[in-house]
Amino acid sequence: MDNVKTIYKKSEGLSDFNLSYCPGCTHGIIHKLVAETLVELDVLDRSIGISSVGCSALNYDFFSCDMVQAAHGRAPAVATGIKRVKPNTIIFTYQGDGDLASIGIAEAIHAAHRSENITIVFVNNAIYGMTGGQMAPTTLIGQKTTTSQGGRDAHIHGLPLRISEMMATIPGATYIERVSVHNPQHVQKAKKALKKAFTIQKENKGFTLIEFISTCPVNWGLTPKDAIDWAVENMIPYYPLGVYKDKTVGEES
């Protein structure tokens, strides 16, 4: 067996818990990317993650660093509370679109407004997953959910909220990027975005948010593959990928 060498293994940033996510959901990929980033930047042993409320509520068990479970939408406030007393830690929140874009929008905006030196991992799958497929602020027009059964109607429900674009208008925000993990190429791009964000935090340069376009095969009523296709065909056109804010442009790297 001397010639056997490990070319891939699970990141040290993840625990041995079985993930609680449905088959085909992209939370697993995003967890892996966050964990790998913390390890590669050599900050895992000083990281604290904030779990939110929603499908990822139990991820305090999945990451191997210290973790704090926050009330619905409050993760950026919890992160602020920690970072201000432990400035040498690396703090990330992990929030879905119900948690961040709806109930926690004030906390997200004001964490950016204060330029808190934290990183928000925002997972947008345009629906409430954990509670059974209700409409989110990010639900697309015409999209059927359990609380918009005839499809989202702009006249009744308003137009879907673009979080990255909105957060980019906040003067205090340092880096905002929207990414997707629908194919290996984009997974690599997403990893790069996370690395950029956590590096900015490591260098005490302020608030960073990476929005992930994600899927919800179960509540969308699609197979995992069809869900990926649906995200590419419907979500990415409305939620274009790219860097929306980068205050580090022009700085020497």
Partner 1 sequence: MAKVLMKGNEAMALAAIYAGCEAFYGYPITPQNELPEYLSKHMALHGKAFVQSESEVAAINMVYGAAGAGARVMTSSSSPGIALKQEGITYIAGAELPAVIINVMRGGPGLGGIQPSQGDYKQITRGGGNGDYYLYSLAPESLQEAVDLIKESFDIADYFRNPVMIAVDGLIGQMMEPVDFDREVPKWDLLPKTWAADGNPQGREKNIINSLYLDPLVLEQHNLKLKAKYDEMRKNHQRYELINMKDADIVIVAYGSVARIARTAVEMLTEKGVKCGILKPITIFPYPDQAFAELPDSVRNLLVVEMSTGQMLDDVKIANEGKLPIHFYGRVGGVVPEAEEIVQAVLKIVGGENNG
Stretch that binds partner 1, among 26-34, 61-69, 128-136, 154-162 (CB under 8 A): 61-69
Nearest distance from C-beta of residue 192 to partner 1, angstroms: 24
Rounded Cα gap, residues 61 and 34, in angstroms: 14
Site string for partner 1, 100-139 (x = CB under 8 A): ------xx-xx--xx-------------------------
Q: Which of 12, 19, 28, 61 touches partner 1 by CB under 8 A? A: 61
Question: Is residue 161 within the footprint of partner 1 (CB under 8 A)?
Answer: no
Rounded Cα gap, residues 88 and 67, in angstroms: 16
User: Structure tokens of 115?
Assistant: 């330029």
Buried b (16+ CB within 10 A) or exposed e, 60-92: bebbbbebbbbeebbbbbbbbebbeeeeebbbb
Question: Is residue 65 within the footprint of partner 1 (CB under 8 A)?
Answer: yes
Torsion of CA 244, 248, 202, 44, to 10 degrees: 40
Q: Which of 33, 79, 181, 194 touches partner 1 by CB under 8 A? A: 79
Nearest distance from C-beta of residue 66 to partner 1, angstroms: 4
Rounded Cα gap, residues 58 and 66, in angstroms: 13
Dihedral sign for Cα atoms in the order 142, 52, 20, 210: positive
Nearest distance from C-beta of residue 85 to partner 1, angstroms: 4
Stretch that binds partner 1, among 29-37, 60-68, 141-149, 199-207 (CB under 8 A): 60-68
236: Cβ–Cβ under 8 A, 6 or more apart, which residues?
A: 180, 213
Cβ atoms of 23 and 217 closer than 8 Å? yes
Residues numbered 27 to 46 that lie near partner 1 (CB under 8 A) are: 45-46
Question: Is residue 226 within the footprint of partner 1 (CB under 8 A)?
Answer: no
- Interface contacts to partner 1, rule CB under 8 A: 15, 45-48, 50, 57-58, 60-61, 64-71, 74, 77-82, 84-86, 88-91, 106-107, 109-110, 113-114
